[in-house]
A and B are shown apart, each in its own frame.
Chain A
Amino acid sequence: MTGTGLELCELRKTYTARGRPAVDAVRGIDLSLRSGELLGLLGPSGCGKSTTLRMIAGLESVTGGDILVGGTSVVERPARQRNIGVAFENYALYPPLSVAENLAFGLKARRRAARGSKGDVERRVKDIAERVGLTGLLDARPAGLSSGQKQRVSLARALIREPDVLLLDEPLSHLDAAQRDTTRRELKRIQKDLGHTTILVTHDQEEALSLADRIAVMRDGVIQQLGTPYEIYDSPANVFVADFVGEPAITLLPGISGGDGHARLSEAVRIALPVRVERGREVVVGIRPEDVRLTGEGGLPARVVAHEPLLESGLATLALDGVERPLVVLTDPEVRLAHDERVRVAADPQHTHVFDAETGDSLR
């Protein structure tokens, strides 16, 4: 069983309410998912990612553009005729029904529409429960399940109808850390096994990076960058993407290009850029904490503001001489730094990012 491709063409959503200015929640999104692909829609809350998901599902009307499932436009169809499965953030399990009944509930709506007999329903419930790992829980009520189990039931419920496209809405946001890790791995395995074309909506970059084949980073209803997790991480298209993806967050320092492959951050600090930028242009230099080393000699002069030992590594906050914003550096676990200690650091120019100060776009 394989999913079908999904295409969004110039998809737009504008909310209009009387007496209030219209709000453009989604401003023309183009996306194309090949069959079986898992795409992560990543962005902060209010960026339009959930609205996009709801438009694909048919729970929200579309202001403009088109949605194609397997090459066919579904925009005009109501949700029940789209054959799209959604695993909701809050699981949307029906409390009075057992897990098995919850799973069967979705099938019953279409049973008359040529989806087989009662025995068939039972067989499919068993089948999906096995794949998702719920076999022992079929008689349980939703209230008695852990969040991770509820999430799996929710997923099974979306999958049992064999949807053309699967949508996951913040699937891990209500799980605790331990369950999140196991459920994430399960999710990845199940999605790869069943091969559904999937969109994952999340504000959690870890979730998107670990699960998605490709990620679309969204902001203010616009896709900022579309690419593999590595592309997003290694060459962010603009300051927003650089800042949003990466934990601990990238350090962004304003400076002025010297035209010689360096940018001046302060009187004392010049930093090498990966590309040549014309002299005098205002730039923002981005350096990820893991791309900076402490050096004994040479490098940039700095003072230690704080150092947090985090067991498997350390996190140092440094003040580069004359630079207002602090630089965050990932240190080796054995490194000990004292407050106000003088250090020197070096950043790898190949991993340094440079953005235009005005537009925020990458200059690489």
Chain B
Amino acid sequence: MRKRALGWLGDAALILYFVFALFPIAWMVILSLKPADQLFSTYFSFSPTLDGYRTVLGDSEGIPFVRFFVNSLVVSVGAVALSLVVGLPAAYASARWRFKGSENLMFTLLSFRFAPELTVIIPLFVLYQKLGLFDTYVGMVWVLQLVTLPLIVWIMRSYFADLTPELEQAALLDGYTRKQAFFKVALPLVKPGIAAVSLLAFIFAWNNFVFPLILTSNEAQTVTVGALSFLGGDRPKYNLTAAAALVSVVPPLLLALTIQRYLVRGLSFGAVKS
């Protein structure tokens, strides 16, 4: 009896949380479907229209949202790719060897994550202006390393550390070089980790707001900043902002769904005694 009551209570709590979590999204969906003239007149009864989406994707209102979207893709994918190229060897090295200052180096890398972006943004802005990196892809990919690199290095480090070094040592004895042992033995075994961490890094890069806000103006602007453009002008167009925001949720969502199975850390290694 008591168990049953607890179950109901639990269900009720879950439903409550569900509503709490999803209501803002539902509100966004409603907002994005409203025609411009009914934006402020009603809550739930309105004549739904896809005009908002059409406007956002149709490049009208003078705001190139599609380009922002492509910018976001390019910049986020670029940032993750660069971080993987640099970060995987770094993660491996720091997991396998303890060298002079290795812990300090790793901590410095981590500190990029917890230092507020706002503390560096003004000097970065000046630097970017001088170096010609302002409002460029290169500049954005570069600055996003502050977001993606620590994440990839730290998470992949623990994946590598979990691999028994004997696998690589066996390869060394077989006649492989250190480099081959890394590429042929260690790297393929952490593929699930790479998938998971890449997704995570992609989402963080995609969601970043402050860097594109200050370091881009138009050419390299991303959706997070671009979506806000619809609020400018004489009348804030909430329906367009909502539609833009919902469209910009699609890539991370799709990505998450496709590599979902990697996200569960199902690394059933048979290397160690089971």
Q: Could you tell me which A residues sit within 8 Å of B by CB distance?
A: 18, 57-59, 78-82, 84-86, 88-96, 105-107, 109-110, 113, 141-145, 147, 150, 157-158, 161, 174
Contact = CB atoms under 8 A, between A and B. Distances in A.
Given A90-B166, A109-B174, A109-B180, 20 more contacts: A58-B172, A58-B173, A78-B172, A79-B169, A80-B174, A81-B175, A86-B173, A91-B271, A92-B169, A93-B270, A94-B271, A95-B268, A95-B269, A95-B270, A96-B188, A96-B189, A106-B170, A106-B174, A110-B175, A157-B170
B128 interface: no
Contacts of B100: 18
A285 B182 CA distance: 55
B174 A90 contact: no
7 contacts: A79-B172, A80-B172, A88-B170, A94-B167, A142-B270, A144-B270, A174-B273
B167 A92 contact: yes
A59 B174 contact: no
A107 B274 CA distance: 26
A185 to B, nearest CB: 21
B164 A92 contact: yes
Contacts of A161: 174-175
Contacts of B177: 80
Contact of B169 (A59, A85, A110, A144): A59
A90 B164 contact: yes
Contacts of B16: none
Contacts of A109: 171, 174-176, 180
B167 A147 contact: no
A169 B172 CA distance: 16
Given A88-B169, A92-B164, A92-B170, A80 B270 contact: no
Residue in A82, A85, A93, A158 whose Cβ sees the most chain B Cβ within 10 Å? A93
Contacts of B22: none
Given A109-B175, A113-B175, A88 B166 contact: yes
B124 interface: no
B169 A143 contact: no
B36 interface: no
Contacts of B167: 92, 94
Interface of B: 100, 164, 166-167, 169-177, 180, 185, 188-189, 268-274
A95 B186 CA distance: 11
Contacts of A90: 164, 166, 271-273
B166 A92 contact: yes
Contacts of A79: 169, 172-173
B270 A141 contact: yes
A111 B273 CA distance: 30
B172 A143 contact: no
A85 B268 contact: no
Contacts of A143: 268-270, 274
A157 B167 CA distance: 12
A105 B271 CA distance: 15
Nearest to B269: A95
A246 to B, nearest CB: 28
A95 B175 CA distance: 19
Pairs A-B, 6 closest by C-beta atoms = A143-B270, A109-B175, A106-B174, A142-B270, A92-B166, A92-B170
Contacts of A84: 173
A114 to B, nearest CB: 12
Contacts of A157: 170
Contacts of A145: 270
A86 B170 contact: yes
Contacts of A141: 270
Contact of A80 (B166, B175, B273): B175
A53 B88 CA distance: 30
B174 A105 contact: yes
B183 to A, nearest CB: 12
A174 B166 CA distance: 15
A90 B174 CA distance: 17
A110 B175 CA distance: 6
A57 B166 contact: no
Contacts of A113: 175
A57 B174 CA distance: 11
Contacts of A107: 174
B85 to A, nearest CB: 23
B271 A95 contact: yes
A276 B274 CA distance: 55
Contacts of A106: 170, 173-175
Contact of B271 (A81, A85, A92, A110): A92
A81 B172 CA distance: 9
B46 to A, nearest CB: 55
A52 B20 CA distance: 63
B207 to A, nearest CB: 34
A147 B185 CA distance: 22
Nearest to B273: A174
Contacts of B171: 105, 109
Contacts of B172: 58-59, 78-80
Contacts of B176: 80, 109
